[in-house]
Amino acid sequence: MKILFPLLSLMALSLTMIIPSCNAQPSSPLSGRIETNDDWKPFVYLVEPRHFNEIAADYLGQVIDSAAIGTDGSFSFQNHIVPDKKMLFILAVQKKGSRFANHLADEIPSEANYMPIVLSKESSMTCKAQIAQFQQSFSMDHPSYDHQVLMSLRDARTEAHHRWIQSNSALPEDDSLIIVKEDLYDQYIGVMRQFADSTNSLEAALVAIRWASSNGDYERMPEFLHGQCEKWKTLQAENDFVIELCAAADKKNLPVMVGDVMPDYTLPLANGDTVSLRSLIGKRLTVVDVWASWCAPCRKENRDILAPLWAAYKDKGLQIIAYSIDSNGGAWKSAITKDGAVWVHASHLTGDSSPFMEALRISTIPANFILDGKGEIIAKNLHGEELENFIKEYLK
């Protein structure tokens, strides 16, 4: 079981003054100039992501070519066969001592050692960069549309990451603030989601999707992944990456989503009864809250948000169904009492291996699902003030 922790235009101008423009050799489809230093290998590597989950993924892409960086910083790929149609590749550099040419360092975007690029037989490409800030400093002579979009995505991510670090570092270390930190992180990766939703470049969208969750975990954003599949399968259904994207976005592989009807399930209640979830749904609005007694942000939400909402709206059509993934019945019931959580409670008391969690296809708490009177999910994973405002507006 996991609790989700959260986790520039001037740059381009300065680079044109610092690094001389590079001239492509006519025979080379990919060349450029890289300002090097002694901490880095004097090579640049061309990495091919063969599958959707290899895009911008550490160690997974296949190294298909390399080029030496000369003493003047110039490099030129001579052996690579340019694809007939445009394809997404990764251009990477490596520090001395690095064992693998397909290592992609990405924890801090401004220090990333790679840049996604698009190659095709229709055009050659020249680039320039500083090796220690390879991705951030990467620029091109006469970039194509796809490269313009990729560099815009790069800039947007770098700026969003900087804002997230500043906001997150201002918060104290406190487990009860996990939901707050999760929201800050979601704002950060939300930049990638918005970019993917708005761009007309498939290659940039694919990179944005992968940057939104480099480990391929889309539990907190299944609607986004499914929406990307719907978007691109109407435009480029035969693209191999799109086919694999849509396989990952298959609803049976994702948590229940907004717009779905909440799955019915037989729940053992704290009072000893066993009833169906469907029979518990409120007349107007139901919050299905997934929590545990040992989850600090869940307990804070009980006391500070759900208890006041319950007192204010229980007679106005609000229902709260709390499902715990505890394994200790005593700890579970003690937490209910201490938090003043006097709404409906259920649990199988099986801990992480909860059949209800499996039915919802989730593994992360805190989690919640907001249902209308017919049991349709109209919102999910709203917390704090956002949850308060939603319920107040819906039940006004």
> Same domain, yes or no, for 245 and 293?
no
Q: Give the separation between CA 289 and CA 167, rounded to whole angstroms.
A: 27
pLDDT class of 20 with cuts at 50, 70, 90: very low
- The answer to whether position 224 is within a domain reads yes
Q: Give the separation between CA 396 and CA 385, rounded to whole angstroms.
A: 16
* 212-218, Cβ contacts within 8 angstroms, sequence gap of 24 or more: 213/189, 214/56, 214/57, 214/58, 214/106, 216/53, 216/248, 218/248, 218/254
> Same domain, yes or no, for 129 and 177?
no
In this predicted structure, the answer to whether residue 10 has a pLDDT above a threshold of 70 is no
Range of the domain at 207: 158-253
How does DSSP classify residue 6? -
> Same domain, yes or no, for 274 and 365?
yes
In this predicted structure, the answer to whether residue 58 has a pLDDT above a threshold of 90 is yes
Question: Which amino acid belongs to residue 14?
Answer: S
**pLDDT tens track for 120-148:** 887 789 999 999 999 999 999 899 999 99
How many domains is the chain partitioned into structurally? 3
pLDDT class of 178 with cuts at 50, 70, 90: confident
**pLDDT tens track for 223-255:** 999 999 999 999 999 999 999 999 999 999 999
> Same domain, yes or no, for 233 and 297?
no
Helices (H), ranges, 213-295: 222-233, 240-248, 277-280
Q: How far apart are the first and last CA of the chain?
A: 37
Q: What CATH number is associated with residue 299?
A: 3.40.30.10
> Same domain, yes or no, for 190 and 306?
no
**pLDDT tens track for 265-307:** 999 999 999 999 999 999 999 999 999 999 999 999 999 999 9
pLDDT class of 2 with cuts at 50, 70, 90: low
- The answer to whether position 3 is within a domain reads no
Q: Are 104 and 56 in contact (CB under 8 A)?
A: yes
Q: For residue 275, report the phi and psi dihedrals to the nearest 5 degrees.
A: -135, 165
- The answer to whether position 333 is within a domain reads yes
